[in-house]
Structure 1
């Protein structure tokens, strides 16, 4: 589990309703739910075009996060960043910014944290005598190849440690920046240690500009799939999130285009709206798609047992009811027609793992008896 130090605890200035801020997803900045004080926004707080992106170093005690979710095909993950500049309005990780006393709205996409010692923390974790190898997931909370990575190169350094240790890794991203690391990923693939999944939400650029303003566009993500396949790196596609009455009609076309680019696996995830994500998304809908907002939420609630969000294991990813069943049937049929399979990490090898030298550069802690 990652723990921040008090030295980087910062409070966000209030931001008024900012419908249409160029390059940002959130339309307002709700208060962090753990703050004792509430603040009011100035009417012209966003008149200059919105807040700039700020980066703050976060000193973490550990880098591996563990989970016991039966909905996930992995039990550990790494997140070098907290917050994400992509600004996807639907991001289920937004509520985590409240633990930093920051808003899950604009703060989440403008007040970012990075973990400069992530590679060293990883090396220490993998060198521990009790560590047992299993696939590590990258990109489960925020995108590891978001714009800040171009300069900070934290994710690349994490990959270098994992490759040195012959450790399997499963990746999810929506960023074309991953192509920078084709050299490392190619070595992982040669050893059977990697699978990449590219998330493609829509091929409609007008929708993408509003829905995920600073992420790579759909066609660019297809080109990334093609580049990964050309480098013999196993690659699949996530149609995620599936948003009723907004992008659900694109399910088949996205999967077909991804398959043509080289993806051999496909899956979808129904829109999730935990905690503060619900009011953020509803305000975004009312701002950008007022004519269909009620219909979107109606179908979603019919797929979530009458609620906007259902956090139960076994239900939160796919939903229930006739609409959810229809989405599942459509995905199964297009996969069958194209010869694709669902996502899985069972093929990743764990038998090649070797413990690293510890951070002080001494011999591996887990030495051989012979």
Structure 2
């Protein structure tokens, strides 16, 4: 069984079946009624932190649609609960659901800094920007408790290695001291995600993320310290936030962003079912319209797996979104450029000290 009404505080409204598991877990009405009569919770809505012990931490990114070659994720699962998040499907590899489990069961990689250090010290490693994180947010609430991201940034600084950051959490400003040192060597760039200027929209799409004003302030503070910021105005969801593209671009430009990027939403794997269930509960008056608009961007389907097309979309609606993005760049970002990070400083630091000869 699943709740029929919209449940605040989380993105997903249910746990979808894990495609890799033989058995399906569900709550029956008689069990829910028993819990009600006994005054007990049928299941806990609290976030769990589960330690895991990977052997490696840096992942090579094969997708041509993502602007990175390597990424690393200190955490799997994300408490932010963004309903559209493509990373939800990855939670199924760990035996969990892409739905509520993704938001409530956070896998913590405490050994990430040591694994990172071993990777970039390896004699065969050639410096290339590693992105924190390509999958889940490295500054999600768990970071406040475990500080794994900060320790990884210290490793990048120690070995003069370039690092990119993707986040929608103002917690990144906690590490401004390290970011300033990295930036002094042109070794860091920050991508801040801003998907709407409406708090009402933000609270439904991304229930446990930083407010819009905090994100814009984050862009401003980083930019005032000359740390390059790219704004991720993504995903664009027709019927929900795509009409905000121009004012979004202006807002992030006014706060100092040097560039911005967009994608058109696609609901791959279990996310299609999770998003469909969510929108029928959270925005029932426009659910069908939004779903049809998304399908129009992907050849009649809400999912799209075609390299080169899946993140851009196709058709008239997708083209309108990209036309607006082009206009925004001409209007608000002329003569601005996100810099390339340096890769030539790392080699002498592999052994922890500069070579003398």
User: How far apart are the structure 1 equivalents of 2:48 and 2:333?
Assistant: 45
Superposition deviation, residue 72 in structure 1: 2.2
What is the 5 A alignment of 1:186-205?
186-205=180-199
User: How far apart are the structure 1 equivalents of 2:335 and 2:231?
Assistant: 11
Farther off after superposition, 299-308 or 38-47: 38-47
User: How far apart are the structure 2 equivalents of 1:294 and 1:340?
Assistant: 38
Does the CA contact (< 8 Å) of 1:241 and 1:271 recur in 2? Answer: yes
Residue aligned with 1:270, SS: coil
Superposition deviation, residue 275 in structure 1: 0.3
Farther off after superposition, 15-24 or 101-110: 15-24
Tell me the residue number matched to 2:178.
184
The structure with the largest helix share of the pair is 2
Correspondent of 2:79 among 82, 85, 107? 85
User: How far apart are the structure 2 equivalents of 1:281 and 1:124?
Assistant: 39
Q: Are residues 1:275 and 2:261 paired?
A: no
Farther off after superposition, 110-119 or 40-49: 40-49
Superposition deviation, residue 37 in structure 1: 1.4
Q: In structure 2, do the counterparts of structure 1 residues 107 and 261 end up closer, same or farther at CA, with 3 Å as the change threshold? A: same
Correspondent of 1:352 among 334, 345, 355? 345
User: How far apart are the structure 1 equivalents of 2:12 and 2:5?
Assistant: 8
CA deviation string 1:310-338 (max 9, x = no partner) = 11111111111111111111011011111
Q: In structure 2, do the counterparts of structure 1 residues 179 and 147 end up closer, same or farther at CA, with 3 Å as the change threshold? A: same
Superposition deviation, residue 291 in structure 1: 1.6
User: How far apart are the structure 2 equivalents of 1:367 and 1:164?
Assistant: 11
Tell me the residue number matched to 2:126.
132
Farther off after superposition, 134-143 or 35-44: 35-44
Q: Are residues 1:20 and 2:13 paired?
A: no
Q: In structure 2, do the counterparts of structure 1 residues 194 and 239 end up closer, same or farther at CA, with 3 Å as the change threshold? A: same
What is the CA RMSD across the aligned residues, in angstroms? 2.1
Aligned residues: 349
Q: What is the TM-score when the length of structure 1 is the normalising length?
A: 0.89
Correspondent of 1:332 among 318, 321, 326? 326
User: How far apart are the structure 1 equivalents of 2:254 and 2:192?
Assistant: 14
What is the 5 A alignment of 1:99-178?
99-178=93-172
The unaligned stretches of length 5 or more in structure 2 are none
User: How far apart are the structure 2 equivalents of 1:106 and 1:332?
Assistant: 37
Does the CA contact (< 8 Å) of 2:258 and 2:338 recur in 1? Answer: no
CA deviation string 1:205-230 (max 9, x = no partner) = 11111111000111210011011111
User: How far apart are the structure 1 equivalents of 2:87 and 2:19?
Assistant: 15
Correspondent of 1:229 among 223, 229, 249? 223
Tell me the residue number matched to 2:24.
38
Q: In structure 2, do the counterparts of structure 1 residues 57 and 342 end up closer, same or farther at CA, with 3 Å as the change threshold? A: farther
User: How far apart are the structure 2 equivalents of 1:297 and 1:344?
Assistant: 34
Tell me the residue number matched to 1:5.
none
The unaligned stretches of length 5 or more in structure 1 are 1-14, 358-362
Tell me the residue number matched to 1:260.
254
User: How far apart are the structure 2 equivalents of 1:147 and 1:343?
Assistant: 31
Q: In structure 2, do the counterparts of structure 1 residues 157 and 235 end up closer, same or farther at CA, with 3 Å as the change threshold? A: same
Does the CA contact (< 8 Å) of 1:53 and 1:111 recur in 2? Answer: yes
CA deviation string 1:43-73 (max 9, x = no partner) = 4379849511000111010000002222222
Correspondent of 2:53 among 34, 48, 59? 59
Farther off after superposition, 71-80 or 82-91: 71-80
Farther off after superposition, 290-299 or 81-90: 290-299
Does the CA contact (< 8 Å) of 1:18 and 1:28 recur in 2? Answer: no
Superposition deviation, residue 42 in structure 1: 3.8
CA deviation string 1:219-250 (max 9, x = no partner) = 21001101111111111211111001111111
User: How far apart are the structure 2 equivalents of 1:305 and 1:163?
Assistant: 45
User: How far apart are the structure 2 equivalents of 1:353 and 1:93?
Assistant: 30
Tell me the residue number matched to 2:308.
314
